[in-house]
Amino acid sequence: MTTPPLPSETAAALATGLRALVGRLKRRLRAQSGGDDLPAAQIYALLRLESDGAATMSQLARAEGMRPQSMAAILSPLQAAGHVRAAPDPGDGRQILWALTDSCRQWLAERRAARQDWLTRAIEARFTPEEQARLAEAVLLLRRLADD
């Protein structure tokens, strides 16, 4: 059995800097969309419903790697806030499907648009066209890192 090589000092420094930078950028983006973010688990559940469509609590829990009881604790406040609704599954009335409300879809779109607008304006204001081209190259590299 071979031991994997230790990361180089350069790679380790890049990893530390990138992790801190991503956290700072995430906080800045969050602030641009009103700063009234929900807990991460609730956001992930909303994004899952947005991308995958209506689902049972068990399906959501499985997709997020948790127990259905934990998902119930996540969905309950989202339902109380009017972000999700529960309805009987038309194909199997014994099942309950959870889905985003129209107002939640609009809320998500508005927050996304606010973050996109801020980031677009910041890039235009802070970077020259040459720097923007370099940033585009960096985005491609970061995408490769995220897509492994």
* Residue 20, domain member (yes or no): no
> Residue 45: which domain range?
30-146
Give the C-alpha distances (Å, rounded to integers) separating 40 from 16, 36, 37, 46, 64.
Answer: 22, 12, 8, 10, 12
* Residue 25, domain member (yes or no): no
Predicted model pTM: 0.79
* Residue 16, domain member (yes or no): no
Predicted confidence pLDDT, tens digits, the chain (148 residues)? 677 777 788 999 999 999 999 999 988 988 887 766 789 899 999 999 999 999 999 999 999 999 999 999 999 999 999 999 999 999 888 899 999 999 999 999 999 999 999 999 999 999 999 999 999 999 999 999 999 7
* Residue 23, domain member (yes or no): no
- Number of domain units in the chain: 1
**Residue 98 neighbours by CB under 8 Å, 6+ apart:** 49, 54, 55, 56, 57, 60, 75, 84, 85, 86
CATH of the domain at 115: 1.10.10.10
Q: How far is 115 from 63, CA to CA, in rounded Å? A: 26
* Residue 79, domain member (yes or no): yes
